[in-house]
Structure 1
């Protein structure tokens, strides 16, 4: 009975050790995210000159913080001058600042978050799986930045101009809630950025063997339909279908890019497996 108890304890110890490591790494990631959030939300910065070099320093300033600077920048960059912002609820300004702070804090802390996640999962991966994860980081970031940039430079300005023209045509005062503006901006940048990961997800699924590249190619009509469904889901729905159609066409193009990338990834995987089988056969024969 004692031996059985010791055996169970030996089996549980590695699991508890992994859970402790996971909790520690999650704590580090959360603390990093919280620190960056507080800095963006409640601190400002200025440059001081020391020995001819300009050095940025941060200092507490809740009312003129980095996030409020960003809000002012977005207002001047994205809103038509005739469209006026209103503070409808007492805490709209605080919520807006918090939205901006969390969104940018996540990206500033992303390297640390990736480092902690990678440090936890990498010991349990094969070398080819580690290589796969390393190779998708840069394309994933690039696609997300491209999607967010498309939302920021194309979708939001067009949407705001459309809202302004349509509101003026009804003889209504063109106003907008500050919280609605910021939440719409952040939501669109996040949603479109994630939608642009479409081809990367397809490539990964084909590389690991879950979906064949031929399946993507054969069902391209469903891919295009799915692209327009995603476009309809993430679009603001206030532009008479123009933005929805534009996003749908771009996602459809990305789907076909994903088809080509999936075919390439599948060929590389097949070549890699054939090489491994050949090496194993040589080892067995020797």
Structure 2
């Protein structure tokens, strides 16, 4: 009897209610982690405090370091500070933010706190998902899952950075050009809530889109899709890339942002196809070694 057979029999012996309880337990832990981190970003501010080391001569002080210190503040929280950073760094000169609805600043802080909470709890989310699905996986599937945790986090961060440093500034400048072309009768303004929600949507959507090579490599790694299939159907991959670009784009830039995102995702598709090819070769080598041992 193989190890896999023993694991399956062990899982089959457990009633469905036990699996549901385990799932509820893991989801509860994820929600608690999200809630705690959300409250930190939503209700606590961050300030760098200088720590001084006494200098023995002439009563001078020597700066040792700047230590980040959290303090309770709803109106100067980390999310509010980050909103200010978005406004100063992303908003082009000539565009003004306005408050259209009474609770726009509150919703803006909420959106940013939620994004930061999801981003920082990704390791906990992955760990809980892993703890739930690991008993039903083969050994090589467990190794594959462990090996993609850090790349998944890195690709999400790269996707968000791509949106923050390239897509969002480009989008806002195009909007400013359109507004300027209409003449002095139109003043270039943006609603605060609309601005923050658009920025957060692009950060999350682009971050998730950058997981494409990892998803392709993972499907090939577990034997679901062959690498040659990705290469043969590259036209469909490019088409889907541009469809995704059309979905996540704000759609107010005359197709420029959609084209940039589509080309980027198409490039990631080909990178994923190459990664799948290397992973398939690795699987074949491992299979040959296993057969040689037998």
Q: Above 0.5 in TM-score?
A: yes
Q: SS where residue 59 of structure 1 aligns?
A: strand
Deviation at residue 47 of structure 1 after TM alignment: 4.1
Render the CA deviation track for 1:207-231: whole Å, top value 9, x for unaligned.
Answer: 2222111111111122122222222
Q: How does 1:6-155 map to 2 (within 5 A)?
A: 14-48=15-49, 52=53, 54-155=66-167
Q: SS where residue 21 of structure 2 aligns?
A: helix
Deviation at residue 135 of structure 1 after TM alignment: 1.0
1-structure distance, mates of 2:201, 2:177: 23
Residues 1:225 and 1:271: Cα distance change in structure 2 (over 3 Å): same
Q: SS where residue 74 of structure 2 aligns?
A: coil
Deviation at residue 16 of structure 1 after TM alignment: 3.6
1-structure distance, mates of 2:227, 2:259: 26
1-structure distance, mates of 2:227, 2:13: 41
Where does structure 2 lack aligned partners over 5 or more consecutive residues? Answer: 1-11, 54-64
- TM normalised by structure 2 equals 0.85
Deviation at residue 247 of structure 1 after TM alignment: 1.5
| 2:256 alignment partner, one of 235, 238, 242 | 242
Q: How does 1:167-206 map to 2 (within 5 A)?
A: 167-171=179-183, 172-206=186-220
More helix by percentage: 1
Q: Which residue of 1 aligns with 2:245?
A: 231
Q: SS where residue 288 of structure 2 aligns?
A: helix
2-structure distance, mates of 1:213, 1:187: 32
Q: Which residue of 1 aligns with 2:287?
A: 273
2-structure distance, mates of 1:103, 1:269: 37
Q: Which residue of 2 aligns with 1:262?
A: 276
- TM normalised by structure 1 equals 0.88
Q: Which residue of 2 aligns with 1:4?
A: none
Stretch deviating more after TM superposition (133-142 or 46-55): 46-55
2-structure distance, mates of 1:61, 1:114: 31
Aligned length: 270
Contact 2:163 2:206 in 1 (8 A): yes
Q: SS where residue 217 of structure 1 aligns?
A: helix
2-structure distance, mates of 1:147, 1:55: 29
1-structure distance, mates of 2:13, 2:282: 39
Stretch deviating more after TM superposition (55-64 or 141-150): 55-64
